Amino acid sequence: MRKLVPLLAATVLAAAACGSGGGSGAGSTLKIGFIESLTGNYAPLGGEAKKTVELAVEQLNGAGGIDGRKIELITLDDKTAPDQGVLHFNKLKSEKVTAIIGSTFSNVGLAVEPLAERERIPYISLAPADEQVDPVRKYTFVVPAISSTYAQAMLGYFKAHQITKVAVAYDTKSAYAKAGFAGMKEYAGQYGVQIVKEETYETTASDFSPLFTHVRDSGAQALVAWASGAPGVTLAKQYPSSGLKLPLYMTGSQASKLWLDPVGKAAEGVYVQSAIGVVGEHLPDGKLKQSVQEMSVPFKQKYGYEPPQFAMDGYAGVKLLAAAIDKAGTDREKIRDALEGLTLVTPCGQYTYSKTDHSGLKPTDISMNQVKDGELVPTEWSLKQLAETAKAAG
């Protein structure tokens, strides 16, 4: 079995977690494609993922690569447009890449996925839409917790806090938001929760006062907003003047300074879900916290702020793919097989992919936080849950 060259200092522990095995032809480069939204509406999100994809590749190459092969990352901008994602997939196919890391924008991921399946190219998606893995596709693996997993995590929090009636708003043009709402509808009854009001809006929405008016007399104990990008900012900024006294709950798409900074004081008290790594400083010492620090320490040194949600996903995506290549070599079918049997601790939590699960994360890999003094702080309920998750990771 081949071994990854040990990483220096802060990276050594996480590299060891990647296991052993690898490709042949030491000394040549290993082409990996990366399609991401670097311009257009999703550019702020895709830009954060790009930073950590590049960081992970830099760390691996700095340690000698995988079995002596340096990673050549081919990055293409999908411009937040599905047709551009398709165009770039075909370009990467002609480049004979070993695998592709996919866009943060779910609509791009859903456009590219069928092509990856047809061409039998391992596709590591940074988008959370359920449709990518439900039903399971052979070559597609998702990095962020999928929307329905976020929904279950939120419903679990509601059950623990006797919140039984909620209003839900979601973006009808976002695959992520639609899947999240569908997940809440599917699982709400299992958690003793009733959705008493459903409100829709579109990505271009700029005035949420009608939505707030409709929620006012619904009898809801909380308002859940499924949003990504600009609507999540606009809705939260307008919420304090809505007159509603209900707590506002947002999902992982808001777990970022890209949401916190523009929302400002209006974010105080809002509940926001996130990947474990976003609140990694609150974890107990162990393998999970070490995995977070391997990424967060150099990230903060370079960029001056804590890595947001989308940065966690980009870094974890490279780690998952590197672990599979290290184990299986560069044959695409063998990489796919390795991914399907992979268990790996990353800043997003401990993945356990299988033949029936290509998303790999559980509701317990998600933290429920509240904004306090401009920071995301895990609730007491989540702190206890995160401690158990960290213990299980080792």
Report whether pLDDT(176) > 70.
yes
Among 166, 196, 273, which residue's Cα sits nearest to residue 228? 273
CATH code reported for the domain at 30-144+285-361: 3.40.50.2300
What are the CA-CA distances from residue 250 to residues 228, 231, 375 (Å)? 10, 11, 14
pLDDT tens digits, one per residue of 217-260: 999 999 999 998 899 999 999 999 999 999 999 999 999 998 99
Confidence of residue 19 (pLDDT cuts 50, 70, 90): very low
pLDDT at 11 (0 to 100):
39
Cis peptide before 135 (omega within 30 of 0): yes
Domain spans of the chain? 30-144+285-361, 148-282+366-393
The token pair that represents 221 in the structure block:
């104990």
Neighbouring residues of 112: CB distance < 8 A, sequence distance ≥ 6: 35, 82, 85, 86, 89, 100, 102, 103, 123
Confidence of residue 328 (pLDDT cuts 50, 70, 90): very high
Confidence of residue 360 (pLDDT cuts 50, 70, 90): very high
From edge to edge, which strands make up the β-sheet containing 165-171?
A: 194-201, 165-171, 222-226, 248-250, 271-275, 366-372, 375-378
How far apart CA 157 and CA 150 sit, in angstroms, is: 11
Q: For residues 292 and 272, is the Cβ–Cβ distance under 8 A?
A: no
pLDDT at 165 (0 to 100):
98
Task: DSSP letter for 357, please.
Answer: B
Among 176, 167, 225, 166, which residue's Cα sits nearest to residue 201? 225
Class of domain 148-282+366-393: alpha beta
Say whether 148-282+366-393 and 30-144+285-361 share the same fold. Answer: yes
